[in-house]
Chain A
Amino acid sequence: MDMEDFQVIDDYLCIRLPEEVDHHKSAYISENADRYILKDRVSNVVFDFSDTQFMDSSGIGIIMGRYKKISCFGGKVFAIHADRQIRRILYMSGLNKIIEIME
């Protein structure tokens, strides 16, 4: 994962997540996401799971953390291209109630 995986398009920060999202990777993702949220004042965050094959509860923590940061200003969080396993984890944790999961 490098800087190209963070892209700001209009009011959206798009994060292309790595193949495996776990605790080891979570600090890097959260840190950079927050830097962009502050610097570019984006109000929405899109998590792109195209490359992701594994995620554990650390991923839930990353998404929840970003949601807390932007939702109070009316921002939204989206999850796109999540495969069956990832979707299962998103639903099991109840995140589907606060973020939008799309194809």
Chain B
Amino acid sequence: MSTPRDDRARLEREERWRQLMRAAQDGDNAAYAALLSEILPVLRRFVAYRWPSAPDVEDIVQEVLLSVHTVRHTYDPARPFMPWLMTIAMRRTIDAARRRTARNANETTVDIMPETFSGDDAKNEQEISDDQEAIRRALAQLPDGQRQAVELMKVKGLSLLEASAVTGKSVASLKVSVHRGLKTMREVLKRETQ
């Protein structure tokens, strides 16, 4: 049960926030920073109370802060500040809960993540050797200029400037050669896998 002193403190806080918001709307950045800092613990409590099992309270609080920021022009200083703030906080908390429910409906939780095969560590030696052989074959099919550009920049790891110094070609020309070379290799590898 609230005492008269609590009520007075609440009214004073309400009036202060109203003034701060009015000043913030007029472009007073210090007032705006003070207001957002003062409402931050209130928002944390609100979100934690409304959604006790929320896994990401701080994310939702930040979403509320961003929403307050984008719609701060909708606040009418003639009206109380707290209902305005709490409506936004409630709306964004419900949105976050809804999003999470939708995401959970489409996700399956697993204890052990399935192995991926994109990295060489996850492959056996035979597979690595097969891959390398296929790349070597695709590289061999490229015209000389493109093969040299791909070898220097993608196999040996030279920069464009370094490759330009080695080949005597311009940077632009090397870029085009690498792009075309990789495209051709991709098509060759695709054909082989089919």
A and B, one complex?
no
A binding-site residues for B, Cβ under 8 Å: none
